[in-house]
Structure 1
Amino acid sequence: MRLTLLTFTAAALCLAGPAAVADATSATADAEASAALLQNPRGCGRAGSVLDAAPEGQMVMVPGFGAETWAVDTVKPEAQAWFDHGVRLRWAFEHKEAVRAFRRARAIDPECAMCAWGEAWAIGPNLNGGGTDDASIRAGRQLAQLARRKARGATAVQRQMIDALIERYSGASASQGVRFARAMDRIARRNPDDPMIAATAADAWMLQADQWWDDDGKPADRGIGRAMEILEASLQGAPDDPGTIHLYIHLTEWSDDPHKAIPYGEKLARLAPSASHLVHMPSHTFYRVGRYRDAMRSNVEAVALDRRYDELAAPPGGITGMPLHAHNIHFGMGGALMAGGGEEGLALADAFLATYPDMSSGNPWRQLMANDAYAIYGRFGSPAQVAALAEPPEERPLQRTSWRYGRGEAAARAGDAAAVRAEAEAIKAIRESDAITGDQADKMKLFVEVSQRVLEGRAAMIEGNAEAAVAAFTRAAEIQGMEEEGGDPPIIWFPTRRSLAAAMLARGDAAGAKAKIEELLVDWPMDPYSYFVLAEAEAALGHMAAAETAREKARVEWIGGTMTLKLA
């Protein structure tokens, strides 16, 4: 798994999802959590503790989260149904709802050992970074021990799983994760045809690794290689298991071959049509391989499903209490920007700013996530829509930067170089002020500088000053290139190297522009706007057949309007 110190991927930004997690924390705690996720992003965002899950008696079992069942030690069908629902929710990364479901199963059958196991499992560590606090570990241990005391009616395999879970919560904290992974691995080897056991074992190996992949996409941890073996073997026998597919998408995303997950991602939404996060999950693969339209559409549907779940189940906290809702919107906006999906993108941008109107000064991540919303207004919004955007308060410098950036992009569309430069100067003033503070201030200011330089480049392109445009875009690309680009929608929403290539072409360096585009397409495969610039470069070089091929590729993922070099 890659390190992201600058690109601020969605995995880090999901920390800003629920107000209960982010806005209610102190600025210091927020900064510490943010830094931790930047160093070691997991899954799709930070879930936090789930010990405060709402009373289970009020829970509604919404259908459409899958059809898998795993028989446990109960003779009560309702308890079995709630256990199965808990498992489905856990694999859908609905951690609090999973805890509520397992508690419901335990209330129906207090003697069900595996129902207690399920609650202990759901309370503990997960790929969203939650369940690692002392209180959660203590609660998990108590529940696992309760499961052991009640395990007389459990099968031998189930008793082994209970003992494995006790390993997760006992002894030296530094070795809990790997001991649980090893214990589950032994169970998986003895039960190779059980997808529930396989997924639990693979999940355990993924959790214990500090880094998943090296720079070449090879396993950086032996447990990651083993997790891949487990998942791929399980998918051979159970190719329609949602939990296995979910983990496989995460694990392959930054491997050396993310394409392997495509056939599984393409069917995941059909397997769990009500689970918003599972409907969203294919977009991780789609975006990584350059299927930006599909990434956008997956998340448009996921956002709608969040609203549907809120209507049907009324979970505590509503939409804003859903840890991954902001992630769904942000991912959808990222896909819309890359594909030219103005209509869908504007709807998502409206939803984001309406759902999260209050972005505390102590939480920079939600302000950064808003960048895609303002970029969408700038790239696709009407003059009236752009003019209607309220100016963020001064204590939110990152959001103010994004607001000005969006206005600058809109001015660039209108061909108003002076207005574009005015927004760039205002952003420069924010960067040079003391408004951005904290441990991550230097990195945040680099993000602000990218917005400034992109607008300076846009203005220079409108003015016909290709040299100045090359200089501005070179600096933007230099900053963006400090870390790995592409995938998992980064806050710098597009490859600034394509703007640089367009400026190089305007300067008369068609060969250099072509080389720059071919270089960036490795990180941003199938970027339609980059293929447009490539087509123009090939035409300038007299390569007419190659130019037409590039134009055809540009049309594959682009659903927007006319492309121009000035807005590349």
Structure 2
Amino acid sequence: MQRTSLNWTIITLLALASSCREKTTTPSQAAITQLSLKRGQVITCGASNQQLGAVQFKVSCGAAAQADFDLGLKLLHSFEYDEAEKVFAKIIDKNPACAMAYWGVAMANFHPLWTPPAEPELQKGLKAITLAQSITQKTAREADYIDAIAAFYQDADHADHRTRCGRFEKAMEALHTKYPADKEATIFYALALNASANPADKQFVNQKKAGQLLAALYPNEPNHPGIIHYIIHTYDYPELAELALPAARKYAAVAPSSAHALHMPSHIFTRLGLWEECINSNLASVASAQCYAQEAGLPGHWDEELHGMDYLMYAYLQRGENALAQQQWDHLQNIKIVTPQNFKVAYAFAAIPARYLLENRRWQEAAALEINRPDFPWQDFPWQRAIVHFTRALGLVHSNKVVAAKAELQALKELQGKLLAQKDEYKARQVEIQVKAAEAWILWREGQGDAALELMHAAADLEDGTEKHPVTPSEVLPARELLGDMLLQFNKPQEALMAYEANLRKHPNRFNGLCGAGLAASRAGDAAKATRYYQQLLRVANLAKSDRPEIAAAQQFLQAHRPPQKLMSTTNI
């Protein structure tokens, strides 16, 4: 973002707001036009008749606007941001003095749990909230809501996104304290707590506080989409996911007209290794996203479709269903245009093929993996590009091409440096984990065992100290599982078993994790534990649709270690 440009925008808007306060309480048509609002028919797919849950939020914009405002808020709570903006734009067109409609536009361009607003979204939100503040025909409560989101948009040329999310949290805390009976204030405060949570905080202070607030509201508001949705986000961590399972199993039924509501439960299903439920959730969300693209007349595919496809790829792989996983990759390769071209699209383009090749140990193909859609603006997405280089590095190492692997390692280091220069510490740390893991496996290939294990331990520890990004179902390969693989290479089965078991606690029912644990236990001489892991693998996998050789190996082990059957006494014949 150009700081000078934004400064002039702020000065202009403040002048406009001052003029509005002096002359009228209604923004001019010229000021509204400058917002470039999304307009048109509200599009929902999945269930018909806009089934989006139940929300009531009284505003002082007249009875005619109330139903529309509640609809906009339902869409906002299910992160259907474009459609929510259309509803708030409709209210503005009919009643340009409705201050809370501008608040709705600002909230629709914030998307606190996704990526930070792009510059056009930031400018739109700033303009909308400035107009909202200029309108005098609003209640004190409405003014407090407007000032709370203004805390996020102000000073955007100096303060970073995380700092401004913290400001929004503090403003919503004050609003929640001032209006303790206002359930929407409580719900948005819980959302703000999640938005500002420190990803390195393994005590989950913000999340637990948000969970308590939402849990207190839920019994009296069982069909409120925001409460259910934010409970899922609040507990979207391995240590907490079980707490969100009831909400996950209900959200799609409460808001079946939202593609995001159909997808979001799969976050918890993935955390808990409930692969069939994850698959069903994302089949529904992908179909809804395809419907949305068609109904909206998008030139190609909607980004939500690719997001669901990444989760489908991951779940199919954990069931050992390679043919269905391959279908996701094949479909991806046929996708030429996606709207919008954003963070999660870049992630899906990179992660879907990487997952398929790495999970199946198809090293030669991994070594030759190409960037999907070379016409995509990959320069804007260093972390996602790193996934491809990481995949190549592991593929090349296992194909005994160390020199080429070192070139991929250098590319990873350069991407990490770019993210550090951008002050994006979280993504830089994610690439650092890949750097350490790739370098560890290069050292393994070069016969430097102690150094290799030291680096692989460091990668696993670093990954344990942070959380995956919400855009992804999982790392393309968990570092501690890779540590288990390396320990097996060095014939350290007991240590490998410990690594696999630690990883399975964070990533339950992972196909390769169960295989690795069974193999490590077998080599360590623990037949009982190996039996338990192999039996669990056969329960998790879809035996009728899987061609993974590990399944046959597990079955052979179990057959060889089947307890002898007791002979029936002849006296009982």
TM over 0.5: yes
Q: Is the 8 A contact 1:528 1:555 kept in 2?
A: no
* Deviation of the 1:124 alpha carbon: 5.0
SS in 1 for 2:418: coil
The question of whether the paired residues in 2 share the 8 Å contact of 1:501 and 1:513 is answered with yes
2:186 is the counterpart of 1:214: no
Give the 5 Å matches for 1:230-379. Answer: 230-254=213-237, 256-314=239-297, 319=301, 322=303, 324-355=304-335, 366=346, 370-377=350-357, 379=359
8 A contact 1:206–1:212 mirrored in 2: no
Name 2:512's counterpart in structure 1: 529
> 1:260 Cα deviation (Å)?
0.4
Q: CA deviation at 1:308?
A: 0.9
Contact 1:368 1:491 in 2 (8 A): no
Is structure 2 residue 122 aligned with structure 1 residue 133?
yes
1:309 positional shift? 0.9
Matches within 5 A, 1:13-412: 55-60=38-43, 63-70=49-56, 72=58, 73=60, 79-110=65-96, 114-124=100-110, 126-128=112-114, 129-130=116-117, 133=122, 136-146=125-135, 148-149=136-137, 151=138, 159-169=140-150, 177-178=168-169, 180-186=171-177, 188-191=179-182, 194=183, 196-207=184-195, 209=196, 211=198, 214-215=201-202, 217-219=203-205, 226-254=209-237, 256-314=239-297, 319=301, 322=303, 324-355=304-335, 366=346, 370-377=350-357, 379=359, 402=388, 405=391
User: Does structure 2 conserve the Cα–Cα contact (< 8 Å) formed by 1:510 and 1:537?
Assistant: yes
Alpha-carbon distance in structure 2 between the residues aligned to 1:331 and 1:471: 35
**Of 422, 431, 439, which residue of structure 1 is paired with 2:418?**
439
Structure 2: where are the runs of 5+ without partners?
3-33, 156-163, 421-427, 555-573
1:203-234: CA deviation from partner (whole Å, max 9, x where unpaired): 24444x3527722x330x5xx55433221101
Cα distance in 2 between the residues matched to 1:61 and 1:509: 54
Q: Conserved in 2, the CA contact under 8 Å of 1:86 and 1:101?
A: yes
Task: Answer yes or no: is 1:429 the counterpart of 2:411.
Answer: no
2:400 is paired with a residue whose SS is helix
SS of equivalent to 1:421: coil
Match of 2:8 in 1: none
| Distance of aligned partners of 1:551 and 1:91 in 2 relative to their CA distance in 1, 3 Å threshold | same
Q: Specify the code of the residue in structure 1 equivalent to 2:132.
A: L
Q: Which amino acid aligns with 2:201?
A: D
Tell me which amino acid in the other structure corresponds to 1:261.
A
Aligned residue type for 1:330: D
Q: Report if aligned partners of 2:55, 2:224 keep a CA contact under 8 Å in 1.
A: no
8 Å contact kept, 1:371–1:403? no
Q: Deviations over 1:375-397 (max 9, x none)?
A: 31565699999999767779989
TM-score by length of 1: 0.68
Q: Which amino acid aligns with 1:479?
A: A
- Look up the equivalent residue of 1:510 and give its one-letter code: P
8 Å Cα contact 2:109/2:124 also seen in 1: no
The separation in 1 between residues aligned to 2:199 and 2:467, in whole angstroms, is 18
Q: Determine what percentage of the aligned residue pairs are the same residue.
A: 20
Report the residue type matching 1:535 in the other structure: G
Instruction: Describe the shift of the 1:311–1:80 C-alpha distance in structure 2 as closer, same or farther (beyond 3 A).
Output: farther
| Structure 1 CA distance for aligned equivalents of residues 220 and 494 of structure 2 | 50
Counterpart in the other structure of 1:37: none
C-alpha separation between the residues in 2 aligned to 1:347 and 1:509? 37
Contact 1:513–1:537 at 8 Å: present in 2 too?
yes
The CA RMSD over aligned residues, in Å, is 4.7
Q: Residues 84 and 348 from structure 1, CA distance in 2 versus in 1: closer, same or farther, beyond 3 angstroms?
A: farther
Residue 145 of structure 2 aligns with an amino acid whose one-letter code is: A
CA contact (8 A) 2:371 2:388 kept: no
> Aligned residues, how many?
482
User: Contact 2:443 / 2:452 at 8 angstroms: preserved in 1?
Assistant: yes
Are 1:536 and 1:547, in contact at CA under 8 Å, matched by a contact in 2?
yes
When residues 284 and 356 of structure 1 are mapped into structure 2, their CA distance, relative to the original with a 3 A threshold, is: farther
Candidates 471, 492, 496, aligned match of 1:513: 496
Contact 2:484 2:497 in 1 (8 A): yes
Higher-Rg structure is 2
Structure 1 residues 440 and 426, CA gap change in structure 2 (3 angstroms): same
Task: List per-residue Cα deviations over 1:42-96 (Å, max 9, x = no partner).
Answer: xxxxxxxxx866542454465445132426456666x444323311221121223
Greater RCO, 1 or 2 (C-alpha within 8 Å, sep 6+): 1
* Secondary structure of residue in 2 paired with 1:439: helix
- Measured after TM superposition, the shift of residue 486 of structure 1 is 6.9
CA distance in 2, matches of 1:302, 1:82: 25
C-alpha distance in 2, partners of 1:176/1:334?
Answer: 36
Shift of 1:258: 2.3
How many angstroms apart in 2 are the aligned matches of 1:303 and 1:229?
Answer: 32
Q: Distance in 1 between matches of 2:296 and 2:337?
A: 24
Answer whether contact 1:141 1:166 (CA < 8 A) is retained. no
Deviation at 1:265, TM superposition (A): 0.5
Task: State the 1:367 CA deviation.
Answer: 6.9
Give deviations 1:390-413, integer Å, cap 9, x for gaps. Answer: 67779989859738947976x99x
CA distance in 1, matches of 2:359, 2:451: 23
How big is the shift at 1:170? Answer: 6.6
Report if the CA contact (8 A) 2:102-2:132 is conserved: yes
Q: Could you tell me which amino acid in structure 1 is paired with residue 130 of structure 2?
A: R
With 248-257 and 367-376 compared, the bigger mean Cα shift is at: 367-376
Amino acid in structure 1 at the alignment position of 2:320: G
Q: Distance in 2 between matches of 1:446 and 1:288?
A: 21
Distance 1:119 1:429 in 2: 46
